[in-house]
Amino acid sequence: MKKKFISIYNKLSDSVFRYCIFRISDRDVALDITQETFTKYWDALSAGQKINSDRALIFKIARNLIIDHYRKHKSCSLESLAETEDGENVEEFTLIEDNQKCEIELETEARFLISKIKELPKSYQQIIYLRYVEDMKPDEIAKILGVSVNAVSVRIHRGIEGLKKITGY
């Protein structure tokens, strides 16, 4: 059981963290939720709970913890987001080498698309993220969200159409 947990943790921890950071936008909170997700997964394994899909269960736990987080915490102001830990506003500029330009362009495009995913209706955001960023299959997404595979497929299609309209692609 311990070997299975370690294997699953090594395989999925980065994906769960990315999912959490996408939904929460706070690195520390995302790390906490990722840790709590795997703690709850360990509890399920220890209790001998029958698990059909480890990945689906882990993402479902993460999703529920994110929902709980939003229920417990209020949003913060934009001014607090612009401040550093010591309370001062800071702007950093760095010089970029030519060989890093392609990587930066790809990263910029990815950030742009992720920001546009956030503009989609809520019913499409999570499904598009799980499908294309985390590369999950519709049946896995259906298990996580508790909806039919057909509903997931329809939402993926509609979400992509909405994303095309928003981005102009």
The more confident residue out of 41 and 83 is: 41
Q: Which fold has domain 1-77?
A: Rna Polymerase Sigma Factor; Chain: A (1.10.1740)
Which pLDDT tens digit goes with each residue over 128-169? 888 888 888 999 999 988 999 999 999 999 988 988 888 776
Q: Nearest 10 degrees: CA dihedral of 160, 162, 166, 169?
A: 40
Could you please report the per-residue DSSP string of 64-129?
Answer: HHHHHHHHH-PPPPHHHHHB-TTS-B--------GGGHHHHHHHHHHHHHHHHHTTS-HHHHHHHI
98-169 belongs to CATH 2.40.110.10: no
Q: Is 21 within 8 Å of 27 (Cβ atoms)?
A: yes
pTM, to two decimals: 0.56
Residue 89 has pLDDT above 60, yes or no: no
Question: What span, in angstroms and rounded, lies between the C-alpha atoms of 25 and 165?
Answer: 25
Q: Return the percentage of the chain with pLDDT > 90, whole number.
A: 29
Amino acid at 1: M
Q: Is 37 within 8 Å of 21 (Cβ atoms)?
A: no
Q: Pick the most confident of 18-32, 63-77, 99-113.
A: 18-32
pLDDT-based confidence at residue 21 (cuts at 50, 70, 90): confident
Residue 124 has pLDDT above 60, yes or no: yes
pLDDT-based confidence at residue 83 (cuts at 50, 70, 90): very low
The more confident residue out of 104 and 61 is: 61
Q: Nearest 10 degrees: CA dihedral of 145, 141, 71, 30?
A: 160
pLDDT value at residue 76: 46
Structural domain spans, the chain: 1-77, 98-169
pLDDT-based confidence at residue 94 (cuts at 50, 70, 90): very low
pLDDT value at residue 102: 53
Q: Is 143 within 8 Å of 54 (Cβ atoms)?
A: no
- Mean pLDDT over 97-115 rounds to 63
